[in-house]
């Protein structure tokens, strides 16, 4: 291994592999079950056999004693575990050595100036600018009115105290009540944060966010321990706004091209729908 790289904590890769093994029913991969089983899903030897690798090597990999697994082995494990695209990308990320720590994440993010201009140019669309840690770097007036009217409009301007979307979802009663499908929203948010955290293993502030939420929210800790991984680039949000009632919107997360993790989160109402009328009232 290069002196400029280091292995990830063994628990990250091992915990993810174990969680995915537990999620595979033996019957789904043609394994007959006889007698009592000590694990809910596949045993190590069963997964190793399906993937075509030795049990000893797989055990060492899961326990963090084997670094730099080849792409072919990781790909075989992804196929054996029937991982989707996001889970497969996450597995490859965890299996790779990471660059040597660069003390990234000791400073607050600076909002992209082009994204700020775009926010200002779309007054009829509720929109936020999110950082990679889910800090709210900016919002337009309608985005603020829809999602956080109980907070000052200028709240994102102070880097040390700006709102964080994850903290709001788990620790702010107003935000929790805003989502009619809060449990689904929370599960999706945590599985997305899992994916992002693997992309930035040396981000100290991101690690502190995860630790703080795990200590302060039992719901977050339970969802984080499941090791689910998903991407949420688009979908539906079912809200109950305290001023305009139920609002059903389509959202799109538009990642900025410079790759720093910042993204625009837009909310769109179908033309002529009750949601469009509700947004007009909020304006």
Per-residue pLDDT tens digits for 3-62: 334 445 557 888 899 999 888 888 777 776 665 667 778 888 889 889 899 899 888 888
Question: Is the entire prediction scored with pTM above 0.75?
Answer: yes
> What residue spans define the domains of the chain?
5-99, 113-282
Domain 113-282 has CATH 3.40.640.10: no
pLDDT digits (tens, 9 = 90+) for 60-107: 888 877 667 888 889 999 999 999 988 998 998 888 765 545 545 567
- DSSP string of the chain, one letter each residue: --TTEEPPPHHHHHHHHHHHHHTS-GGGGT----S--SSSS--HHHHHHHHTS-HHHHHHHHTT---S--HHHHHHHHHHTT--HHHHHHHHHHHSPEEPP--TTSSPPPPPHHHHHHHHT-TTS-EEEE-TT-BEEEE-HHHHHHH-TTS-TTGGG-TTT--BHHHHHHH-HHHHHHBTTHHHHHHHHHHHHHHHHHH-TT-HHHHHHHHHHHHH-HHHHHHHHTT-----SEEEEEEEETTTEEEEEEEEEEE-TT-SS-EEEEEEPPTTSHHHHHHHHH-
Assign a CATH topology to domain 5-99. Answer: 434 Repressor (Amino-terminal Domain) (1.10.260)
């Amino acid at each position: 291994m290069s002196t400029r790289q280091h292995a990830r904590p063994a628990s990250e890769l091992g915990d993810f592999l174990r969680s995915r093994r537990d999620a595979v029913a033996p019957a789904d991969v043609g394994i007959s079950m006889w007698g009592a089983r000590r694990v809910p899903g596949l045993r190590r030897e069963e997964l190793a056999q399906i993937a075509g690798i030795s049990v000893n090597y797989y055990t060492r990999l899961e326990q963090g004693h084997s670094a730099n697994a080849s792409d072919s082995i990781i790909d075989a494990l992804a196929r054996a575990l029937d991982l989707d695209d996001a889970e497969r990308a996450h597995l490859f990320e965890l299996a790779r050595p990471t660059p040597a720590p660069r003390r990234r994440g000791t400073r607050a993010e600076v909002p992209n100036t082009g994204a700020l201009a775009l926010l200002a140019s779309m007054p009829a669309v509720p929109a936020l600018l999110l950082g990679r840690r889910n800090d709210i770097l900016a919002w337009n007036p309608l985005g603020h009115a829809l999602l956080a009217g109980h907070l000052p409009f200028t709240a994102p301007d102070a880097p040390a105290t700006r709102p964080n979307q994850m903290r709001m979802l788990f620790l702010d009663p107003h935000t929790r009540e805003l989502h009619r499908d809060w449990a689904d929203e929370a599960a999706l948010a945590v599985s997305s944060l899992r994916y992002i955290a693997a992309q930035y293993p040396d981000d100290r502030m991101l690690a502190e966010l995860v630790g703080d939420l795990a200590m302060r929210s039992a719901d977050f800790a339970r969802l984080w321990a499941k090791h689910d991984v998903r991407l949420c680039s688009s979908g539906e949000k079912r809200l109950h706004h305290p001023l305009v009632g139920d609002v059903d919107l389509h959202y799109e997360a538009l990642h900025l091209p410079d790759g720093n993790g910042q993204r625009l989160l837009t909310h769109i109402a179908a033309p002529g729908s009750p949601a469009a009328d509700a947004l007009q009232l909020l304006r």
